[in-house]
Amino acid sequence: MNRDEVLSALPCEEEFRAAPNYRKKEIVENLIGAILAQLAGERRDPDRWEEEHIAKAIGYLLSDRYFAASAAAVKALTPTGERADPETWARADDTATTSALRNGLGYAAGKPARNG
């Protein structure tokens, strides 16, 4: 996965903090979408590490925790060699697919951002 390409689209931390909630939500949605697009471009489903962190990011997005959502999404981009116990993160039968995660993101994107 091209981590730098995905991260280059993110605003700086100050811009993210200053953004209204609807914009923070949009930034995180775009970040997760870019990760899923990278997976689709590689014609593969996420491994367990990627799936766990993308799913967490979507959950945080649904609960209006935009900083946590962003951090979880970025963590999904961690290269295999930099993960703890990288051999334990292979796909399993119960690992969500890219399509399932995209559906979850679509559901979260349909919810309004928290006011304030």
Residue 116 lies in a domain: no
Q: Among the residues of the chain, which ranges form H helices? A: 3-8, 13-18, 21-41, 48-62, 66-76, 98-109
Q: How far is CA 74 from CA 8, 67, 91, 95, 108, in A?
A: 12, 11, 19, 19, 18
37, 113 contact by CB (below 8 A): no
115 vs 109, more confident: 109
pLDDT in tens, 59-113: 999 999 999 999 999 999 999 888 888 777 888 888 999 999 999 999 999 999 9
Residue 115 lies in a domain: no
Residue 86 lies in a domain: no
pLDDT in tens, 15-35: 999 999 999 999 999 999 999
Residue 37 lies in a domain: yes
DSSP letter (8 states) at residue 96: P
Residue 65 lies in a domain: yes
Residue 50 lies in a domain: yes
Residue 48 lies in a domain: yes
Residue 75 lies in a domain: yes
C-alpha span between 59 and 67 (Å, rounded)? 12
Residues counted in the chain? 116
Residue 43 has pLDDT above 70, yes or no: yes
Q: Can you give the pTM of this predicted structure?
A: 0.92
Based on the structure, what is the number of domains in the chain? 1
